[in-house]
Amino acid sequence: MSGIRYSFGADEHIFAEINEEMSLEAFFKGMAICKELETRRISGVSEVCPSNASYLVRFDPDVIHPDKMLRTLQEIEAQVGEAEIELPTRIVEMPVLYNDPWTRETGARFRERHQDPNSTDIEYAARINGYKSVDDFIAAHSGAPWFVTMVGFVAGLPWLYQIVERSKQIEVPKYLRPRTDTPKLTIGHGGCFIAIYSVRGAGGYQMLGITPAPIYDPQQRLSYFKDFLAVFQPGDIVKFRSVSREEYDRDVEAVAAGTFNLTFRPVTFSLKSFHADPGGYSRHLAEVLNDH
Partner 1 sequence: MTIEVIKPGLATTVQDAGRPGYYNIGIPLSGALDQYALRVANLLVGNEEGAAVLEATLLAPELVFRAPAVVAIAGAEATPKINGEERPRNESFAVKADDHLTFDFMKSGARSYIAVAGGIDVPVLLGSRSLYGLGALGGFSGRKLAAGDVLLVGRPRGGARAGLALPADLTPIYPRSLELRVVTGLYFHRLTDESAETFFEDTWTVAPEADRIGYRYRKGRPLSFRDRKQPFGAGSDPSNIVDAGYPYGSIQVPGGLEPIVLHRDAVSGGGYAMIGTVISADMDRVAQMQPNNLARFVDVDMATALKARAEYKARETRLRSALAA
Residues that bind partner 1 (CB under 8 A): 7-13, 15, 17, 19-23, 46-56, 58, 61-62, 66, 150-157, 159, 161, 166, 169, 171, 173-174, 190-193, 198-199, 201, 216, 218, 229-230, 232-234
C-beta atoms surrounding 210 within 10 Å: 26
Burial track 103-136 (b if 16+ CB lie within 10 A, e otherwise): beebbeebeebbeeeeebbbbbbbeebebeebee
Q: List CB contacts of 78: < 8 A, sequence separation 6 or more.
A: none
Distances from the Cα of 135 to the Cα of 20, 99, 195, angstroms: 33, 10, 20
CB 203 → partner 1: shortest distance, Å? 11
Rank residues 14 and 210 by Cβ distance to partner 1 and give the closer one: 14
Nearer to partner 1, 174 or 250 (CB): 174
Could you tell me the smallest distance in angstroms from the CB atom of residue 106 to partner 1? Answer: 18
Nearest to 51 by CA among 200, 189, 199, 235: 235
Between residues 50 and 209, which has the closer beta carbon with respect to partner 1?
50
Phi and psi of 111, rounded to 5°? -60, -35
Nearest distance in Å: CB 249, partner 1: 25
What is the full DSSP assignment across 140-204? HHHHS-EEEEEE-SSTT-EEEEESS-GGG---BPPPSS-BS---TTEEEEEBTEEEE-SSS--B-
Closest CB to partner 1 among residues 144, 289: 144
Closest to partner 1 by CB, 47 vs 277, is 47
**Phi (first) and psi of residue 130, to 5 degrees:** 80, 20
**Cβ 222 to partner 1 shortest distance, Å:** 16
The helix (H) or strand (E) run that includes residue 257 is: helix 245-257
Nearest distance, CB of residue 174 and partner 1, angstroms: 6
Q: Choose between 137 and 216: whose C-beta lies nearer to partner 1.
A: 216
Q: Shortest gap between Cβ of 152 and partner 1 (angstroms)?
A: 4
